[in-house]
């Protein structure tokens, strides 16, 4: 063992063998009446410790004005080191009907609970929750206890990040040792002078000790820190789920208890798993216009189980076994929470539309859950399931945006350059088509490096297919090429598709489909996986193939019309489309357009040197960029969904700029 490794091991031993013992001693002296009453201490503080785990969940002992913690401090596994959570409820105990409030009578203190079995996170939680003025009257002492314990806990987490390298330089070792030693000695002084002297001797001995064999202690501290990481992940899961709840109008978790009466007055579909009845609320209230032609939709499942079931264990099992539950099913779990039995799931539209399909899929889904949770389906019970739409958020579209400048660059250009298309390929790379010089330009905006890829014919338009592949149209050659950008300079295009006519503007519609305008034949869809073209029955007025552009997203097709100075929006399906709106105010010669995830449209105006914003409903617009922003004959604009940014390029001077989008608040 070298010196750096020895430094790391000494800090581990300092925390595991000295600091932890001192903290336990402080708890015994300051929070307990004697060494023997830790069980009674847990019994007296069961309620506050329960809400250190379930910070948002109401229980039947909560007063109405209960102030819960802002975040969880414990995971379920940590809580169960002190308490049992599956206790049988006294049948005479009632705290509400159709109520998701947690029954506190399910919890009991473990008979084998011991302060010696608790890790640093747990004992720190005990201090935060129970180090009250009633027990520690001295405000300074109380504050010092919490601060010193936090210092030790934070230092332990820092050591965790160093443990993989097993390397700690001497200067860093001294700094960390001094920090932990100060906290340990401060805590020891609160116990008494004799104990403080004993701890100082232990510290001196450890600092001079040969610590060759301390791998067990190192492993222990790694396990404890991983529990902290699990707690952080838990907190992130809860935040994500609570954000989802707000989209369905549930602002607080306790509001759910008031919804059950209304929910279960609606018509039910009766399913069954063994002898367990599963009552599913009819889902006809989910709006068709919210899901359009999507194959799947996200919904919220609110589940009410029999009161005697241990819901905490069930939903923790679901979170751990999520991948296994999702495998091979038509109901896919997307988000989970530990505060209530609720799941955000993705479900097939056809499953929601057809009652028998819904019944069958719910039965399959819950059979998997019951099996994984060892629930006896031979016992007669009832589970109620409500399905609430969370797709309403799609209808809340911001009516205004601002562009925030990110970066600009001048693309290396040849003589007579004519940039007809651009795209964001990766975090570092932008792509440009120089049509006149028949080349594709990859520009690394971070390093300033560019790579030119010679093309054998004159290109016009481009669509990013995925992180590796891009589609390019060649009008005169009447073909679409699929290029692999990672190998193009060595191997050339990976695939060519002949087109029955001159193909100009093209856009990606979904994972497998490109839309392309073919001169004289209108817009066609090209299914890349099936390798087939289909004509879309959309009557586009006076389309100028080498100038007007198309863009598609969310079952809508947009196109510019140079001759009338207009932008058109159609709602489309597999074979045809219907006009939704036409916009023609202020535009002089619209050239290119793109749309964001909300369906807002961004249009370059070639003659007035501007970039316009048009709202998703076509009702409002404004100029976002102009000549003062260095726009001069702008020919293309591209919105990157993955990075939520716009890229604009001028026709022939090679100037390009990217912008992030700041949306107005969605009401």
- Judged against a pLDDT cut of 50, whether residue 353 lies above it is answered with yes
How confident is residue 242, by pLDDT bands cut at 50, 70 and 90? low
- What does the pLDDT read at residue 490? 47
Judge whether residue 255 has pLDDT over 50. no
What pLDDT is recorded for position 291? 47
pLDDT at residue 256 above 80?
no
Of 339-353, 484-498, 533-547, 578-592, the least confident = 484-498
Beta bridge partners of 59: 102
Residue 220 CA to chain centroid, in angstroms?
A: 31
d(CA 562, CA 559): 10
Cα distance between residue 64 and residue 339, in whole Å: 18
Distance CA(58)–CA(74), nearest Å, equals 16
CA 141/CA 149 separation, integer angstroms = 12
Quick: pLDDT tens for 183-219: 999 999 988 999 999 999 999 988 887 766 666 666 6
d(CA 611, CA 656): 13
Q: Classify residue 340 by its DSSP letter.
A: S
CB 224 within 8 A of CB 120: yes
Q: Are 338 and 76 in contact (CB under 8 A)?
A: yes
**Which distant-in-sequence residues (6+ apart) come within 8 Å of 290 by Cβ?**
297, 389, 391, 392, 394, 395
Alpha helices in 355-468 (DSSP H): 355-372
Rounded CA gap, 151 and 572, in Å? 60
Q: Which of 207-216, 491-500, 597-606, 648-657 has the lowest mean pLDDT?
A: 207-216
Give the span between the Cα atoms of 434 and 437, in whole angstroms. Answer: 6
Question: What does DSSP say about strands 450-454 and 439-444: parallel, antiparallel, or unpaired?
Answer: antiparallel
Q: What is the pTM of this model?
A: 0.48
Lowest mean pLDDT among 45-54, 101-110, 486-495, 585-594: 486-495
- Alpha-carbon span 504 to 544, nearest angstrom: 10
Length, in residues, of the chain: 667
Looking at 82-96, 158-172, 238-252, which range is the least confident one? 238-252
Task: Report CA torsion sign: 96, 102, 103, 104.
Answer: negative
Angle formed by the axes of helices 20-30 and 170-191, nearest 10°: 20
Cβ(524)–Cβ(515) under 8 Å?
A: yes
Whether the Cβ atoms of residue 546 and residue 475 lie closer than 8 Å to each other? yes
Q: In 180-225, which ranges are E strands?
A: none
Quick check: 150 and 66 in contact, CB under 8 A?
no
CB burial string 458-472: b at 16+ within 10 A, e below: bbbbbbbbeeebbbb
SS (H, E, C) 34-62: CCCCHHHHHHHCHHHHHHHHCCCCCECCC
Chain segment 84-132, per-residue pLDDT in tens: 886 666 656 665 544 556 777 778 898 888 888 787 888 888 888 888 8
* pLDDT at site 357: 84
| Count of Cβ atoms closer than 10 Å to residue 140 Cβ | 8
Please count the other Cβ atoms lying within 10 Å of the Cβ belonging to residue 122: 21
Alpha-carbon distances of 317 from 149, 374, 428, rounded to whole Å:
32, 10, 40
Q: What is the 3-state secondary structure (H, E, C) of 470-498?
A: EEEEECCCCEEEEEECCCHHHHCCCEEEE
Instruction: Tell me the chain's radius of gyration from C-alpha atoms.
Output: 32
**CA atoms within a 13 Å half-sphere pointing along the CA-CB vector of 148:** 24
- Helix 139-163 to helix 20-30 angle (10° resolution) is 160
* H/E stretch holding 182: helix 170-191
Structure tokens at 560: 């510019």
Average per-residue pLDDT for the chain: 80
pLDDT of 283 over the 90 cut: no
Q: Which residue has the higher pLDDT, 257 or 324?
A: 324
Distance CA 650, CA 215 (A): 63
Other residues' Cβ atoms within 10 Å of the Cβ of residue 508: 22
CA atoms within 13 A on the CB side of 619: 5
Give the pLDDT confidence of 296-347 residue by residue, as tens digits. 777 888 888 887 788 888 888 888 888 889 988 889 988 887 667 888 888 8
d(CA 566, CA 222): 63
Determine how many CB atoms are found less than 10 A away from the CB of residue 554: 15
């Amino acid at each position: 063992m070298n010196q750096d490794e020895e430094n790391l091991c000494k800090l581990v031993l300092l925390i595991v063998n000295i600091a932890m013992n001192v903290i336990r001693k402080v708890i015994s002296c300051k929070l307990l009446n004697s060494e023997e009453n830790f069980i009674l201490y847990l019994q007296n503080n069961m309620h506050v410790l329960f809400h250190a785990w379930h910070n948002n969940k109401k229980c039947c002992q909560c007063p109405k004005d209960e102030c819960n913690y802002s975040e969880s401090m414990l995971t379920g596994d940590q809580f169960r080191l002190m308490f049992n959570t599956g206790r049988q409820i006294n049948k005479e105990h009632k705290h509400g009907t159709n109520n998701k409030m947690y029954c506190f009578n399910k919890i009991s203190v473990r008979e084998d609970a011991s302060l010696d079995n608790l890790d640093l996170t747990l004992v720190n939680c005990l201090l935060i929750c129970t180090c009250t003025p009633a027990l520690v009257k001295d405000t300074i002492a109380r504050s010092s206890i919490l601060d010193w314990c936090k210092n030790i806990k934070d230092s332990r987490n820092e050591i965790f990040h160093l443990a993989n390298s097993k390397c700690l330089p001497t200067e860093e070792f001294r700094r960390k040792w001094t920090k932990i030693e100060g906290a340990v000695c401060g805590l020891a002084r609160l116990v008494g002078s004799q104990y403080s002297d004993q701890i100082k001797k232990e510290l001196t001995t450890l600092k001079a000790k040969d610590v060759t064999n301390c791998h067990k202690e190192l492993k222990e501290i790694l396990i404890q820190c991983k529990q902290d990481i699990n707690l952080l992940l838990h907190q992130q899961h809860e935040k994500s789920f609570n954000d989802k709840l707000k989209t369905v109008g549930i602002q607080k978790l306790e509001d759910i208890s008031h919804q059950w009466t209304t929910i279960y007055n609606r018509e039910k579909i009766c399913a069954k798993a063994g002898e367990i009845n599963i009552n599913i609320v009819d889902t006809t209230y989910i709006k068709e216009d919210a899901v359009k032609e999507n194959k799947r939709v996200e919904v919220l499942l609110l589940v009410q189980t029999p009161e005697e079931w241990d819901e905490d264990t069930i939903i923790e099992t679901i979170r751990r076994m999520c991948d296994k539950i999702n495998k091979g099913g038509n109901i896919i779990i997307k988000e989970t929470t530990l505060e209530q039995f609720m799941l955000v799931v993705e479900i097939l539209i056809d499953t929601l539309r057809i009652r028998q399909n819904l019944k069958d899929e719910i039965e399959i889904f819950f059979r998997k859950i019951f099996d994984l949770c060892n629930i006896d389906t031979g016992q007669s019970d009832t589970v109620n399931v409500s399905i609430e739409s969370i797709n309403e958020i799609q209808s809340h579209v911001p009516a205004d945006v601002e562009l925030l400048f990110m970066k600009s660059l001048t693309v290396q250009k040849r003589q007579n350059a004519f940039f007809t298309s651009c795209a964001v390929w990766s975090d570092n790379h932008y792509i440009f088509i120089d049509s006149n010089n028949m080349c594709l330009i990859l520009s690394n905006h971070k390093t300033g490096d560019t790579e030119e890829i010679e093309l054998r014919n004159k290109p016009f338009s481009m669509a990013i297919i995925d992180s590796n592949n891009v589609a390019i149209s060649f009008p005169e050659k009447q073909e679409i090429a699929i290029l692999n950008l990672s190998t193009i300079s060595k191997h050339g295009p990976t695939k060519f598709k002949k087109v029955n006519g001159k193909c100009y503007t093209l856009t990606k519609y979904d994972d497998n489909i490109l839309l392309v305008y073919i001169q004289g034949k209108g817009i066609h869809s090209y299914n890349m996986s099936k390798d087939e073209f289909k004509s879309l029955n959309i009557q586009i007025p006076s389309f100028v193939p080498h100038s007007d552009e198309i863009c598609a997203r969310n079952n809508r097709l947009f196109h510019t019309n140079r001759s009338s100075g207009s932008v058109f929006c159609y709602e489309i399906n597999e074979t045809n489309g219907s006009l939704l709106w036409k916009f023609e105010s202020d535009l002089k010669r619209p050239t290119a357009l793109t749309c964001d995830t909300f369906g807002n449209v961004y249009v370059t105006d070639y003659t007035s040197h501007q970039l316009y914003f048009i709202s998703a409903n076509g009702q409002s617009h404004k100029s976002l960029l102009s000549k003062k922003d260095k726009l001069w004959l702008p020919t293309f604009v591209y919105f990157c969904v993955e990075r939520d940014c716009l890229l604009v390029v001028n026709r022939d001077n090679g100037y390009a700029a990217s912008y992030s989008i700041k949306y107005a608040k969605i009401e």
